Amino acid sequence: MAIAKRFPIAHAMVFPNGAFLRGYVEPVADFNGEKRADGSRPQQRDKKTGLPLWQCTVIDADDDANRKDIGVSVKFAAEVQPVPPKNTSPLPWTPVEFTGLTALPWIDDSGPRPRLSWSFRASGMVAPGQDLTDAKPPTAKAAA
């Protein structure tokens, strides 16, 4: 088959009315790994690259999105925690555009009826309107 399981897709096709970062970029917990002595879970790693996985939740600004599709998770495989652009909007959520976005369809059968769902990965995120060809890879999170 000519179509790969995970395929590249433009940010504007997934989020035609924009995407807004809700919360933070956080490590993805590995629930298959052994718990640490303190009870925490190790960070999940990408199966192909071995890089740590990070995720964020974004709000899809599409008015036609149903309530299950408004909050979308996007993952990153990166050595360091991706840093979102500075929020210069008057909103409590940061407007973002994803670079290197890919999609993987899957069947969510956790509810009463199975439905098509999507798994998204990105290589980075920038402020809307920033030239995506000049986007730099994620940098380390500033020390708190």
pLDDT, one tens digit per residue, over 43-96 is 999 999 999 999 999 999 988 877 777 889 999 999 999 999 999 999 999 999
Residue 128 has pLDDT above 90, yes or no: yes
Angle, alpha carbons 91-71-100 (nearest 5°): 90
What Å distances lie between residue 83 and 27, 36, 91, 107, 141, CA to CA?
Answer: 12, 26, 18, 31, 6
Q: From start to end of 37-101, where are the E strands? A: 53-60, 71-77, 94-99
pLDDT tens track for 89-124: 999 999 999 999 999 999 989 889 998 889 999 999
Whether residue 136 is predicted with pLDDT greater than 50 in this model: the reply is no
CB 19 within 8 A of CB 10: no
